[in-house]
Structure 1
């Protein structure tokens, strides 16, 4: 089977390393149809930016459930906006923030505006810095660790817990549930080509309850308690007392959905970014010495990793109206997969796109956090917490290396990525340290 005929959603080799597949698809054009699916794929940077910025013609209703589930209605007419909204309750998870459109999205987004402001991040900077210092010192003293489970996942979980105001006594239980759940876009949840109509989404269950449902029971208690109390200095208290821009107060169910989604999304992508960035820090010749000598370069390092190996591989949209993307005519009801990982390596936009370049010109124009109305609200937090943890790694070490018995040599790495079609993250990364 040639590369193009491989199925993006079920071929393990493509899920583990999608970049060759994306390049083969790019050769068909920056906008093309997948060979085995009734889906349109966008690999071009300019085309992706145009689409992401156009919230009026595209719906996010399938952003969480994905494009493989059949629509619960038959698209008809030149504008299916009303059909989408009429059937939204039948689209799984379409009530989450990233799946909302129009005014409901604007209102929900306004509720979380206080979460990632510079003042909010500054307020918890001491906690994040002390946490990073303590965790990094511990693994450096041990001269090694498995980075994902010992640093990346617990660190970002504790950071978002602190910002949201999750009590310390509950944080370990939240971590346990998150660690047990399969990653988003798990290949085992994807139907074979041609079997989409026979397949129904089955969210992962933990002890009989989905991870979101488990966390929702906790957030219901937190928000109810805060609504019954005067305003406190944490985000959940602000949620509990917040109002929409029109002055109406959201119901508790909406606040719970927002809180659980922010908690889940706020830890997974940042944890993956820490693992992906550590791999480049170790394997790009001279990079860690350069950053250790000048830590002001760490933000530029993170941005280039976000471009080359961001945590999100693809996002999904549903065409509301007939329109043109690139050279392709798109009909209402068309499902489009925007390959963020491919757009960020588009040679029409980036010179030598597969090469790591510190201080690459225009680097912050990458699409790792999206673009337009649905730009990732947690981008400031991700940049902030990942910067701090790498500052501590460079401060406390003389050198960092991957364990060759686990991952091979620099020229012949053996790396185990999670086989998901949504995310790009390492299943594990064994690292050894020489203390400073």
Structure 2
């Protein structure tokens, strides 16, 4: 048996050896075709860029109900007939995380997005960006003065947590509590030591806070962001239940903070290992957005998402039956040679980078993508402004050419557990 054949037969959802470099595994699958049926799982794995787009842009035939947890647990029903939509909705409360925003379908998803979009109006984003500018400047100045840091827990998690807290209008006295609790929970899709999957986090803790915030604002609106959220209506004019608003808020907080914190770590790792790139970006800050897009393509913080076929359909040339579970390997699609030249190479001037699918596509495209791009751009600008050199701490990670790195034990999240950096301050 060749090494490639052995690799493709591993179980991606539970094999911890695939965490450090999932891309070799995805290449082995792609060699079998853009859609692959593994021996170890009752699901299809899509690695092709264009095939991934087919599924993401087809919510009619593919439900997002299993997006958060995929096939970690069996469906709570046996699919029957040529349209299982009614079965999905009848059993949604038994599907793992099936009531989260990312898992909703049809009118339920449209209603939730309409309410959530009130947080992303231009005036609110502008006010939030001003906060991000001040926060990033303070955080980076302080850490550069010390000469070193562990980026993920000391910088990334507190920074992105405070940014989302400001966007949502969380009272300042509660923001540190939120940051601490988010830092304690495991990432989505965690692989436990014995190989089982777990998906418990701090969202239940935060829910208690948001119930209080939103009930108080609905009873007595005061014009702040939480009041806007508490009094928002669905497109048909009906008022959402408080618990539905709480689910939206906590999901945005938990998912947004985790993925953005890991994305910043992935970006800073590239900068620390590429001093020439650092200098290029210092000299021309207009290149930073392109740098972020290429990092999203190469090292986006969401490796996969999941869909459930609800009607007879096709992916590429493959016929798909209702009830088929599909894993969309976003990280593989973003390195598909059918779409990208030299797909495993970093290229700052790569054309049409915005076509990468790190944030998904279609109706379920990440609602926080504009915020993520802004916050990562701003803090990278500050790091480059306040330093003349950023490097890996070789005492912690070994040689920069072949560093010893530990990645989160998650089949969903691509992110470092730790990233120790050293800084040379910019000349005064």
TM-score, structure 2 normalization: 0.96
State the 1:173 CA deviation: 1.3
Report SS of the residue matched to 2:155.
helix
Contact 1:16-1:419 within 8 A present in 2 as well: no
The residue aligned with 1:411 is 401
**Residue 289 (structure 1) aligned to one of 272, 279, 286:** 279
**Residue 178 (structure 1) aligned to one of 182, 201, 217:** 182
State the 1:61 CA deviation: 0.7
**Residue 315 (structure 1) aligned to one of 300, 305, 316:** 305
Structure 1: distance between partners of 2:363 and 2:97:
19
CA offsets per residue over residues 341-387 of structure 1, 9 Å max, x none? Answer: 00000001000000001121010000000000000000000000000
Structure 2: distance between partners of 1:424 and 1:395:
27
Structure 2: distance between partners of 1:111 and 1:286:
44
The residue aligned with 1:218 is 209
**Residue 219 (structure 2) aligned to one of 228, 236, 247:** 228
Structure 1: distance between partners of 2:290 and 2:122:
19
**Is the counterpart of residue 25 in structure 1 residue 29 in structure 2?**
yes
State the 1:285 CA deviation: 5.0
Worse-matched range after superposition: 61-70 or 310-319: 61-70
State the 1:13 CA deviation: 1.1
CA offsets per residue over residues 93-112 of structure 1, 9 Å max, x none? Answer: 21111100000100000001
**Residue 61 (structure 2) aligned to one of 53, 57, 60:** 57
**Is the counterpart of residue 129 in structure 1 residue 133 in structure 2?**
yes
The residue aligned with 1:262 is 252
Contact 2:187-2:199 within 8 A present in 1 as well: no
Report SS of the residue matched to 2:72.
coil
The residue aligned with 2:19 is 15
Contact 2:308-2:324 within 8 A present in 1 as well: yes
State the 1:116 CA deviation: 2.3
Contact 1:78-1:322 within 8 A present in 2 as well: yes
Distance 1:191 1:393, change over 3 A: closer
The residue aligned with 2:379 is 389
The residue aligned with 1:197 is none
Structure 1 residues without counterparts, runs of 5 or longer: 193-200, 205-209
State the 1:218 CA deviation: 0.3
State the 1:119 CA deviation: 2.3
The residue aligned with 2:87 is 83
Structure 2: distance between partners of 1:190 and 1:82:
36
Contact 2:214-2:230 within 8 A present in 1 as well: yes
Structure 1: distance between partners of 2:168 and 2:247:
14
Contact 2:82-2:311 within 8 A present in 1 as well: yes
**Is the counterpart of residue 153 in structure 1 residue 157 in structure 2?**
yes
Structure 1: distance between partners of 2:124 and 2:371:
10
Report SS of the residue matched to 1:386.
helix
Contact 2:144-2:387 within 8 A present in 1 as well: yes
Contact 1:269-1:311 within 8 A present in 2 as well: yes
Structure 2: distance between partners of 1:344 and 1:215:
33
Map of 1:264-283 to 2, 5 A cutoff?
264-283=254-273
State the 1:231 CA deviation: 4.3
**Residue 69 (structure 1) aligned to one of 73, 83, 92:** 73
Report SS of the residue matched to 2:253.
helix
Contact 2:115-2:229 within 8 A present in 1 as well: yes
Contact 2:186-2:199 within 8 A present in 1 as well: no
Structure 1: distance between partners of 2:195 and 2:323:
20
Structure 2: distance between partners of 1:343 and 1:202:
25
State the 1:190 CA deviation: 8.5
The residue aligned with 2:7 is 3
Contact 2:70-2:325 within 8 A present in 1 as well: no
The residue aligned with 1:198 is none
State the 1:191 CA deviation: 6.1
Structure 1: distance between partners of 2:348 and 2:275:
12
Structure 2: distance between partners of 1:367 and 1:406:
33
Contact 1:9-1:190 within 8 A present in 2 as well: no
State the 1:266 CA deviation: 1.7
Task: Give the alignment's Cα RMSD to 1 decimal.
Answer: 1.4
Distance 1:343 1:44, change over 3 A: same
The residue aligned with 1:245 is 235
Structure 1: distance between partners of 2:133 and 2:399:
32
Report SS of the residue matched to 1:286.
helix
